[in-house]
Amino acid sequence: MGKKKIGIIGATGYTGSELVRILVNHPEVEIALITSESRAGEKFSDIHTSFRGIVDIVLQPASQVEKTDLDLVFLALPHGVSMDFVKKYHQKPFKIVDLSGDFRLDSPEVYHEWYQKEHVYHEGFDSAVFGLPELNRENIKQSELVANPGCFPTTAILGLAPLLSEGLVESRGIIVDSKTGVTGAGVKPKEVTHFPNVNDNFKAYGLKKHRHTIEIQDTLNKLSSEEVSLQFTPHLLPVDRGILSTIYARPVKELTTADLNALYLRYYEGHPFVRITPEAPSIKDVRASNYCNIFITFDERTGNIIVLSAIDNLVKGAAGQAIQNMNLMLGLDETTGLKQVPVNP
Ligand SMILES: NC(=O)C1=CN([C@@H]2O[C@H](COP(=O)(O)OP(=O)(O)OC[C@H]3O[C@@H](n4cnc5c(N)ncnc54)[C@H](OP(=O)(O)O)[C@@H]3O)[C@@H](O)[C@H]2O)C=CC1
Ligand SMILES: CC(=O)N[C@@H](CCC(=O)OP(=O)(O)O)C(=O)O
Among protein residues, the one whose CA lies closest to atom 40 of ligand 1: 13
Which one-letter amino acid corresponds to residue 99? L
List, in order, residues 6 or more apart from 109 with CB less than 8 Å away. none
- Residue 107 confidence (pLDDT): 85
Question: pLDDT by residue (tens digit) across 86-122?
Answer: 999 988 999 999 999 999 998 888 888 898 877 777 7
4-127 homologous superfamily? NAD(P)-binding Rossmann-like Domain (3.40.50.720)
- Residue 53 confidence (pLDDT): 98
- Residue 71 confidence (pLDDT): 98
Judge if the upstream peptide bond of residue 345 is cis by omega within 30 degrees of 0. yes
Give the number of the atom of ligand 1 that is nearest the alpha carbon of residue 79: 43
Contact 31, 6 (CB under 8 A): yes
Domain ranges of the chain: 4-127, 152-313
Is the pLDDT assigned to residue 317 strictly greater than 80? yes
Set 6, 11, 73, 151: catalytic member: 151
Is the pLDDT assigned to residue 72 strictly greater than 90? yes
- Residue 125 confidence (pLDDT): 75
Q: How far is the CA of 194 from the centre of ligand 1 (A)?
A: 18
Q: Give the residue-averaged pLDDT of 63-81.
A: 96
Give the number of the atom of ligand 2 that is nearest the alpha carbon of residue 215: 13
* ipTM, interface predicted TM-score of the complex: 0.97
CA distance 180 to 287: 12
Report which DSSP code applies to 168.
-
CA distance 218 to 132: 13
Ligand 2 neighbours (beta carbon < 6 A) = 100-101, 150-151, 180, 182, 184-185, 234, 236, 317
CA distance 296 to 199: 31
Question: pLDDT by residue (tens digit) across 130-178?
Answer: 999 999 999 999 999 999 999 999 999 999 999 999 999 999 999 999 9
What dihedral do alpha carbons 18, 83, 137, 232 form, nearest 10°?
A: 80
Q: How far is the CA of 200 from the centre of ligand 1 (A)?
A: 26
CA 242 to chain CA centroid, Å, is 12
List, in order, residues 6 or more apart from 177 with CB less than 8 Å away. 233, 235, 245, 246, 247, 248
To the query of whether residue 292 is one of the catalytic residues in this protein, the response is no
* Three-class DSSP category at 295: strand
To the question of domain 152-313 being in CATH 3.10.20.30, the answer is no
| Average confidence score pLDDT of the chain | 96
Q: How far is the CA of 332 from the centre of ligand 2 (A)?
A: 29
For the residues of 2-47, what is the DSSP string, one character each? -PEEEEEESTTSHHHHHHHHHHTT-TTEEEEEEE-SSSTTSBHHHH
Strands (DSSP E) along 150-269, which ranges?
172-180, 203-204, 229-236, 243-249
| Ligand with an atom nearest the CA of residue 206 | 2
CA 151 to chain CA centroid, Å, is 4
Within 10 A of 68 (CB to CB), how many other CB atoms are there?
14
Which of 191, 192, 177 has the alpha carbon at shortest distance from 232? Answer: 177
Candidates 115, 130, 179, 180: which one to mutate for ligand 2, based on the most atoms within 8 Å of Cβ? 180
CA distance 98 to 7: 12
99: phi > 0 → left, psi -120 to 50 → alpha, else beta; which?
alpha
Is the pLDDT assigned to residue 211 strictly greater than 80? yes
List, in order, residues 6 or more apart from 160 with CB less than 8 Å away. 169, 174, 176, 216, 220, 247, 249, 307
| Ligand with an atom nearest the CA of residue 105 | 2
Give the number of the atom of ligand 2 that is nearest the alpha carbon of residue 148: 12
Question: For the chain, how many residues are written?
Answer: 345
Percent of the chain with pLDDT over 90: 93
Question: pLDDT by residue (tens digit) across 221-235?
Answer: 999 999 999 999 999
Going by their DSSP bridges, the two strands 29-35 and 4-9 should be labelled as parallel
CA distance 285 to 311: 8
pTM assigned to the model? 0.97
Report which DSSP code applies to 145.
E
Give the number of the atom of ligand 2 that is nearest the alpha carbon of residue 151: 9
Kindly tell me the burial class for residue 61, based on how many C-beta atoms sit within 10 Å of its own C-beta (0-12, 13-18, 19 or more).
exposed
